[in-house]
Amino acid sequence: MPEAPLLEVQDLGIRFGGLHAVRDVTATVRPGQITAIIGPNGAGKSTFFNLISGFYRPTSGQIRFLGEDITRLRTHEVVARGIARTFQTTTIYRELSVLEGVMIGHRVRTRAGLLDALLRTGRERRDEAASREGAMRALERVGLAPQARRPAGALTQEGQKRVGIAMALASDPRLLLLDEPAAGMNPEETVSLMALIRELVAGGLTVALVEHKMSLVMGLADEILVLHHGQKIAQGTPGQISRDPAVVEAYLGGHAHGGQMGQSGEGAAHA
């Protein structure tokens, strides 16, 4: 018997004017697994994460996390329930230390807003010690504790990605959403990042990630959700997805992405 889903979305959708960026998506994320969301550029992958994390308010459908309806919650309320995310591009405060960057990034996300965080100076000071400890623990989880005092701008591209992950981990989430974690990385860095993601999941975290690199997705994901023009066209294991006619059509039909599923077929041979 498969475990009950951690996250369930039902008929989820959002429209921007006439554009259905995400449309009628029903999908699940199971605990202890890595779920990948794939699809051509503009398919609605980042928007899907923006909906789950409360950055966008859906125009239809429902989001349930641990059985609770979180559809109408705001970002900091979603974070408090145990969902954290990274962004496709993470703003790193280059002059600040890695540790300070994680502390600030975390505070900005967990309060109602930056202004709020800035105004509550008394409370901020009281929270400072706890915040520092939480940030340090998060840096340990991503292997950056020894770099905590270095300026964030001195880290490699991969190191900065790890800082972004640490910012998300500082809220101690159950579910971590990663938006294109391997973007801009060389193959070596990609392998190292995959190992980190596996480690985090082995430690009890559930991960959902958006990714373009098929080799990464096929080698890492337990379950794959495929979006195309905002709609779900398939969800299944890497093996099932690489053989799915609708998926092959969506990829081979697009110009920029032709051939990517071809590579993935080999990667899925073990499934």
Ligand X SMILES: Nc1ncnc2c1ncn2[C@@H]1O[C@H](COP(=O)(O)OP(=O)(O)O)[C@@H](O)[C@H]1O
**Residues at the site binding Mg ion, with contacts judged by CB under 5 A:** 45-46
Site residues for ligand X, 10-29, by CB under 6 A, read 16, 19, 21
Q: How many CB atoms lie within 10 A of CB 254?
A: 16
Q: How many CB atoms lie within 10 A of CB 89?
A: 11
Query: Does 42 interact with ligand X (rule: CB under 6 A)?
Result: yes
| Closest distance of CB 75 from Mg ion, Å | 18
Interface with ligand X (CB under 6 A), residue from 13, 39, 58, 267? 39
- Rounded distance, CA 1 to CA 270, Å? 22
- What would the two tokens of residue 173 be? 């989430």
Enumerate residues 6+ apart whose C-beta is below 8 A from 158.
Answer: 185, 189, 192, 193
| Closest distance of CB 148 from ligand X, Å | 32
| Closest distance of CB 45 from ligand X, Å | 3
Contact of residue 13 among Mg ion, ligand X, none (CB under 5-8 Å per partner type) = none
Q: Is 255 exposed, middle or buried (0-12, 13-18, 19+ CB in 10 A)?
A: exposed
Enumerate residues 6+ apart whose C-beta is below 8 A from 110.
Answer: 76, 79, 80, 171
Considering beta carbons, is residue 23 or 106 the nearer one to ligand X?
23
Contact of residue 41 among ligand X, Mg ion, none (CB under 5-8 Å per partner type) = ligand X
Considering beta carbons, is residue 46 or 147 the nearer one to Mg ion?
46
Site residues for ligand X, 46-75, by CB under 6 A, read 46-47
Terminal alpha carbon distance of the chain: 19
Query: What's the Cα-to-Cα distance from 234 to each of 44, 223, 264, rounded to whole Å?
Result: 14, 10, 15
| Closest distance of CB 44 from Mg ion, Å | 9
Query: Does 94 interact with ligand X (rule: CB under 6 A)?
Result: no
Query: Does 43 interact with ligand X (rule: CB under 6 A)?
Result: yes
Interface with ligand X (CB under 6 A), residue from 41, 121, 255, 270? 41
Contact of residue 44 among ligand X, Mg ion, none (CB under 5-8 Å per partner type) = ligand X
Count of positions on this chain that bind ligand X (CB under 6 A): 11
| Closest distance of CB 15 from ligand X, Å | 9
- Check: CB of residue 85 under 8 Å from CB of residue 205: no
DSSP 131-150: HHHHHHHHHHHTT-GGGTTS
| Closest distance of CB 146 from Mg ion, Å | 32
Query: Does 44 interact with ligand X (rule: CB under 6 A)?
Result: yes
Long-range contacts of 196-200 (CB under 8 A, 24+ apart): 196/142, 196/143, 196/162, 196/165, 197/34, 198/34, 200/141, 200/169, 200/176
**What is the number of the residue whose Cβ is closest to Mg ion?**
46
Site residues for ligand X, 111-140, by CB under 6 A, read none
- Rule CB under 6 A: which residues touch ligand X? 16, 19, 21, 39, 41-47
